[in-house]
């Protein structure tokens, strides 16, 4: 559960695609805007489904479509192993704020990560601001309209 690491994650850079898992410097990922179609990155790529912004990269996130229904700590397991860990995790819950279940918040706090829950628009803006300030910030973002990636493994 959580991130789909079976496929390379691709980002557009200068009109082409880059496998950011192959090493080398990845472009800094920033959110340009968010619409009903998904999260648009600064390079124009639109991500229509859940994603995680972490250490300057963006990953597809196989998260349940309904906020907090069926969610488990495994959906956030990437934060158990990532180095360095983010100081703060911004969780964008879609169109409106949906408070995280206490067990999930405690799981992340135990890993040493402060969690802030907000709607996805505010999470995107806050992520951009904190990333520009050089903070170790991550964002777990749900789209405004719930969608799943085609061919995603079952949850």
Q: Is residue 46 part of a domain?
A: yes
Q: What is the pLDDT of residue 8?
A: 45
Exposed, middle or buried, 85 (CB in 10 Å: 0-12/13-18/19+)? Answer: middle
Residue spans of beta strands (DSSP E) within 67-136? 88-93, 114-118
Q: Is residue 86 part of a domain?
A: yes
User: CATH number for the domain including 116?
Assistant: 3.40.1230.10
Q: Any bridge partners for residue 142, and if so which?
A: 93
pTM: 0.78
Query: Would you state the pLDDT for residue 151?
Result: 65
CA distance 26 to 78: 19
Residue 155 in domain: no
Tell me what pLDDT residue 127 has. Answer: 96
User: What pLDDT score does 129 carry?
Assistant: 94
What is the mean pLDDT for each group of 10 consecutive residues in the chain (155 residues)? Answer: 48 51 61 92 91 92 89 94 94 96 96 96 96 94 78 60
Q: Which two tokens stand for residue 138?
A: 């991550």
Provide the residue count of the chain.
155
Q: Which domain holds residue 32?
A: 2-142
């Amino acid at each position: 559960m959580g991130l789909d690491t079976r496929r390379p994650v691709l980002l557009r850079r200068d009109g082409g695609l880059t496998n950011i898992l192959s090493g080398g410097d990845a472009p800094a990922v920033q959110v340009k805007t968010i619409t009903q179609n998904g999260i648009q990155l600064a390079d124009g790529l639109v991500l229509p489904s859940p994603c995680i912004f972490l250490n300057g990269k963006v990953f597809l996130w196989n998260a349940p479509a309904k906020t907090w229904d069926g969610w488990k700590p495994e959906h956030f397991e990437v934060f158990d192993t990532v180095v360095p860990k983010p100081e703060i995790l911004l969780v964008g819950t879609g169109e409106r704020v949906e408070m995280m279940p206490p067990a999930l918040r405690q799981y992340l706090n135990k890993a040493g990560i402060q969690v802030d829950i907000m709607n996805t628009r505010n999470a995107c803006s806050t992520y951009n601001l904190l990333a520009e300030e050089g903070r170790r910030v991550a964002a777990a973002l749900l789209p405004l309209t719930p969608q799943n990636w085609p061919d995603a493994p079952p949850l």
